[in-house]
Amino acid sequence: MAYDYEKSIRPGKLPHIWCPGCGHGIVMKGLIRAMDACGLEKKNTAIVSGIGCASRMPGYLDFNTLHTAHGRAAAFATGIKMAKPEMTVICCGGDGDGAAIGGNHFIHACRRNIDMTYVLMNNYIYGMTGGQFSSSTPTGHLASTTPYGNPDPCFDLAKLAIGAGATFVARTTAFHANQIDKLIAEGIKHKGMAIIEVLDDCPTTYGRRNKFRSVVDMMKRLKEIAVPVTAAAKMTPEQLEGKTLTGVLHKEDRPEYCENYAKIIARVQGA
Amino acid sequence: MSAKAEIEIIEAYCKGCSICVEFCPTKVLEMDAFVVKVANADACIACNQCELRCPDFAIKVHKL
């Protein structure tokens, strides 16, 4: 039998709203497979998002879901996790939502190392609002608000997460569909803040402005720029020019926020 | 060569992005008026790549 995605999707919600060829659907499938692989129950799982194309995802998923203010997914998810530490909390959202408008909440959730999984879909642009450049639009690329090329350097979101203190950071692309679920599942099992950056394609507002003639061209680019971390170790800096590392980029064990908080409560009440 | 899987296309969900057509290793699928169709069913090796990469939940690969 084919994989049963429908059991995790709210009845009558398909076809979804995303544009033809948008990678968010591929990521949503990966997220469903990852949640199945981890044996998550619907009643013990909360999926939280902010605003944007990628943040429509909880609307389709038949779990406890929360669609919150722009960029505030990590903040609301922190509240859920603090109130119900036994719940598995998953955030999903785009680069504009998570790392630009919500950049502050994002880095502080990383710093606290609160036990949640953040699936960050980086499509290099604010898609829903009309293709404005985001903090991860590459330098020189075109957006509706940078018609002569983006003058800003862009964030490396995985490095940002590592620098801010996330204890599990991985990256993959929408092309590498069978890696998405494995990395998200590893992130869900990890005790602490897990960031999974998925490089995504936005054919409608990013691709057509940046000389990608089709969805397939964008997918081929994702295939070309991705280099697994294990392979990159044997490559020269020249060979790695313009490439992006994929796989598990960072993993460490550090005390988790809710556990630390519970210890403080126990100590103060016992005193 | 006989097909290793039966491919089900849900036409109402297909938006015609053609990712599945491009990345099928044995050229089983093709586009027909902006909707994917199975053109060469016997060549299917059941690799599941079309189902994995379909963003629109429009392809189901039933292994035989």
Residues 6+ apart with CB under 8 A from A271: none
- DSSP type of residue A191: S
Domain boundaries, chain A: 16-270
Nearest partner of A86 among A111, A116, A119, A48, judged by Cα: A116
Interface test with B, best of A173, A216, A220, A224 (most B CBs within 10 A): A216
Residues 6+ apart with CB under 8 A from B32: none
Does the A16-270 domain belong in CATH 3.40.50.11310?
Answer: no
Asked if residue A160 has pLDDT above 70, the reply is yes
Domain boundaries, chain B: 5-63
Nearest partner of A210 among A142, A132, A144, A133, judged by Cα: A142
- B27 to chain A, any CB pair closer than 8 A? The answer is no
Contact by Cβ (8 Å): A204, A210: no
Looking at chain A, how many residues does it have? 271
Does the structure's ipTM exceed the value 0.85? yes
Residues 6+ apart with CB under 8 A from A157: A95, A99, A120, A122, A136, A195, A197
**Residue from the list B13, B52, B57 with its beta carbon closest to the beta carbon of A178:** B52
For residue A1, what pLDDT band results from cuts at 50, 70 and 90? confident
Instruction: Give the distance from CA A199 to its chain's centroid.
Output: 9
Contacts of the segment A240-244: beta carbons below 8 A, 24+ positions apart: A244/A171, A244/A173, A244/A199
Q: A230: exposed, middle or buried (C-beta count within 10 Å: 0-12, 13-18, 19+)?
A: exposed
pLDDT in tens, A119-159: 999 999 999 999 999 999 999 999 999 999 999 999 999 99
- B24 to chain A, any CB pair closer than 8 A? The answer is no
**H or E stretch covering A106:** helix A103-112
Amino acid A113 reads N
**In chain B, what residues touch A24 (CB-CB under 8 Å)?**
55
**Assigned architecture for domain B5-63:** 2-Layer Sandwich (3.30)
Report how far residue A128's alpha carbon sits from residue A131's, in angstroms, rounded to the nearest whole number. 7
Nearest partner of A103 among A46, A160, A170, judged by Cα: A160
pLDDT in tens, A41-63: 999 999 999 999 999 999 999 99
Mean pLDDT of chain A: 94
**In chain A, what residues touch B55 (CB-CB under 8 Å)?**
18, 21-26, 29, 174
Asked if residue B1 has pLDDT above 90, the reply is no
pLDDT in tens, B7-51: 999 999 999 999 999 999 999 999 998 999 999 999 999 999 999
Asked if residue A192 has pLDDT above 90, the reply is yes
